[in-house]
Amino acid sequence: MSVRSIVLVVLLTVCGSHQVQAQFLHPKIKANETTIRRVVVLPAKVNVVRDSMKGPEGMAAESDELSLRVEKMVAEVLSKKKNVATLPAAAPSAEGDAEQKYNVADFQTKFDELLPKIMKKRSDVKKGRFSMGDEVLNLNLEKGADAVVFIRGEGKKLTSGKTAFRLLVGGVPAYLRLQIGIVDARNGEVLLYTDPIFTGDPTTAVDRLRKALEKSFKKLPEVKGQ
């Protein structure tokens, strides 16, 4: 067995047997200077691919379904466990349809732009280093919204052939990894960042997803008397 094979098998075995959750809170949240009572959850962008023996294949329909499920589950977990209410995102006005659509799309991509910087040093969220700026106000959210939730995710489902191959040779298991950022709706500061990961078929493992989400918001203070 070559050196690279040994290294990979060790890495993937370790990855396959654990669930990892990390969460980082802005100092304002920790110090209770800011409380997240009401949020607007923007459409999640979770993508899964099917890994077959002939390489990865797209799963567009399943990805859309999963995105919707994750989005709803995040709102549910925030509501049930943290007493945080979810407000609907503002519907685009008839005359400004395209402009509003572009606005949301551009703000979503602005988060994508910031994401690699956050991931580079996630712990800096605790120093309040990351912000998306006051452009967040251009989203024209409902007046009571305290924060905006961004959800990204990537996952992999294995075909039966690939699963069998993995059992024989080893390799990365099916998994889902989410990246969730909660951003202040008034000034764009990143208030919370968490990235739950779990192994298992991302399209069917509903309970694992819920548990992973519950764990990932553990540090977020619960809202009293909403």
Partner 1 sequence: MTKVTIIGPCLVLEILRAMFPHKPTSLIVAALCFCIVFTSSGPVTLAQKKTAPAEATPPPVREQFKFGEVDLEVLEQADLLDTRFERDGLVLVDESANAFLRRVGQSLVPRDLELEKVSWKFRALRDPQPNAFALPNGSIYVTTGLLTLIDNESQLAAIIAHELTHVMRRHTYVYNRSNRKKFLSMNVMAAIGAFAPGGVVGAVITIVTTVAPFIMMATIYGYSRDLEREADLKGIDMMISAEYAPEEMVNVMKLLDKDLEGENIRLFYNDHPSLDERIKYLSGYLGARADRVTHQMELNRERAAYFRTMESVMRHDLQLAIKAGRARSAVYLAQRLVEFHDDSENLFWLAESYRTLGPRTPQLTEKQLTNSAMKDAAKKSVKRTVEEEERELLATPAGKENWERHQQLAEQFYRRALNAENPAPVAHRGLGMLYEKLERGTDAVAEYEKYLELSPSAIDRVRIQRRIEALKEKLK
Residue closer to partner 1, measured from CB, 82 or 177: 177
**Amino acid identity, position 153:** G
> Cβ of residue 54: shortest distance to partner 1, in angstroms?
5
Least distance CB 62 / partner 1 (angstroms): 11
Cβ proximity to partner 1, 106 vs 222, nearer residue: 106
* Smaller CB separation from partner 1, 80 or 218: 218
Contacting residues toward partner 1, per CB under 8 A: 3-5, 7-8, 11-12, 14-15, 18, 20, 22, 45, 47-49, 51, 54-58, 60-61, 63, 96, 98-106, 108-110, 112-117, 119-121, 129-131, 134-135, 137-138, 140, 154, 156, 171-172, 175, 177, 186, 195, 197
Distance CA 57, CA 70 (A): 21
Place of tokens 């602005």: 110
Q: Determine the angle formed by the axes of helices 60-82 and 206-216, rounding to 10 degrees.
A: 50
Q: How far is CA 1 from the centre of its chain?
A: 37
Least distance in angstroms from the C-beta of 58 to partner 1 = 4
Q: How far is the CB of 7 from partner 1 (least distance, A)?
A: 5
CB of 98 to partner 1, least distance (A): 4
Nearest-approach distance from CB 122 to partner 1, in angstroms: 9
Q: How many C-alpha atoms does 130 have within 13 Å on its Cβ side?
A: 27
Q: Which is nearer to partner 1, 41 or 49 (CB)?
A: 49
Sign of CA dihedral 22, 66, 73, 46: positive
Q: Strand, coil or helix: what is 85?
A: strand
Closest CA to 127 of 28, 216, 204: 28
Structure tokens at 216: 């990932």
Nearer to partner 1, 93 or 226 (CB): 93
Q: Decide: helix, strand or coil at residue 224.
A: coil
Of 137 and 206, nearer to partner 1 (C-beta) is 137
